[in-house]
Amino acid sequence: MKNKYLFLMITAAIILFFGCSKSNVKTNSNSWAFNGTTYTAVTTDYITSDNFSLLGGTDARGNYVDIAFNSHPVTNGIYNLTYDHLSSADSSTNCSITVGNNNSSYQYNSTGKSGEIVTVTFNNGKIQASFNHITVADARDTTIVSGVIMLN
Q: pLDDT of 89-138, one tens digit each? A: 566 788 999 999 988 889 999 999 999 999 999 988 899 999 999 999 99
User: How many of the other CB atoms lie within 10 Å of CB of 52?
Assistant: 18
Q: pLDDT (tens digit, 9 = 90+) per residue, 2-25?
A: 444 433 334 333 333 333 333 333
The answer to the question of residue 23 being in a domain is: no
Predicted pLDDT at 143? 96
Judge whether 53 lies within some domain: yes
Structure confidence at residue 86 (pLDDT): 64
Range of the domain at 51: 29-150
How many other CB atoms sit within 10 Å of the CB of residue 123?
10
Question: How many separate domains does the chain show?
Answer: 1
Percentage of the chain lying above the pLDDT 70 cut: 76
How confident is the model at residue 84, as a pLDDT?
Answer: 64
CA contacts within 13 A on the Cβ side of 45 = 12
Q: How far apart are CA 116 and CA 134, in angstroms?
A: 6
**Is there a domain that residue 95 lies in?**
yes
Residue 6 lies in a domain: no
Q: Is 19 part of any domain?
A: no
Half-sphere exposure of residue 144, counting CA atoms within 13 Å on the CB side?
Answer: 8
Domain contains 33 = yes
At 16, give phi and psi (nearest 5°).
-65, -40
pLDDT, position 78: 95
The model's pLDDT over 22-42, given as tens digits with 9 standing for 90+, comes to 333 334 579 999 989 999 999
What's the pLDDT tens digit per position in 54-73?
A: 999 999 999 999 999 988 88
In a domain, 45, yes or no: yes
In a domain? residue 4: no
